Structure 1
Amino acid sequence: MSQNAENDEMPRRAPALATRLSHAGRPQDASLPFVNPPIVRASTVLFESVGAMQGGKARYVYGRRGTPTSEALCDAMTDLEGAAGSVVTPSGLAAISVALLSVVSAGDHLLVVDTAYHPCRHFCDTVLKRMGVETEYYDPAVGAGIAALFRPNTRAVYLEAPGSLTFEMQDVPAIAAAARARGIVSIMDNTWATPVFFRPLDHGIDITLLAATKYVGGHSDLMLGTVSANAALWPAVKETSGSLGMFTGADDMFAALRGLRTMDLRLRRHQESALAVARWLQGRPEVGRVLHPALETDPGHALWRRDFCGATGLFGVVLAAPYPSRAVAAMLDGLRWFGLGYSWGGFESLAIPADVALSRTATRFEAAGPLIRLHVGLEDPADLIADLQDGFRRLTAVAAAPADETDL
Structure 2
Amino acid sequence: MIDFEIPAETAELAARIRTFVDEEIIPFEKDPRLTAHGPTEELRDDMVALARKAGLLTFQAEKRFGGLQPSHLGQAVLFEAAGWSTLGPIALNCAAPDEGNMFLLSKIANPAQTLEFLQPVIAGEHRSVFAMTEPDGAGSDPGQLATTAVRDGDHYVINGRKWLITGANGARTWIIMADLEGAGATLFLCHGDAPGLIIERTMDTMDRNYVEGHAVVRFDDLRLPKSALLGEEGQAFRYAQLRLAPARLTHCMRWLGAATRAQAIAVEHARTRTAFGKPIGQHQGVGFMLAENEIALQQCRLMIWWACWVLDQGHQGRHESSMVKSMVAEELFKVADRCVQVLGGMGISDETPVAMIFRDIRAFRLYDGPTEVHKYAISRKVLAGA
TM above 0.5: no
Compute the TM-score of the two structures, normalised by the length of structure 2: 0.28
**Which structure's residues are more often helix, by fraction?**
2
If you compute each CA radius of gyration, which structure gives the higher value, 1 or 2?
1
Q: TM-score, normalised by structure 1?
A: 0.27
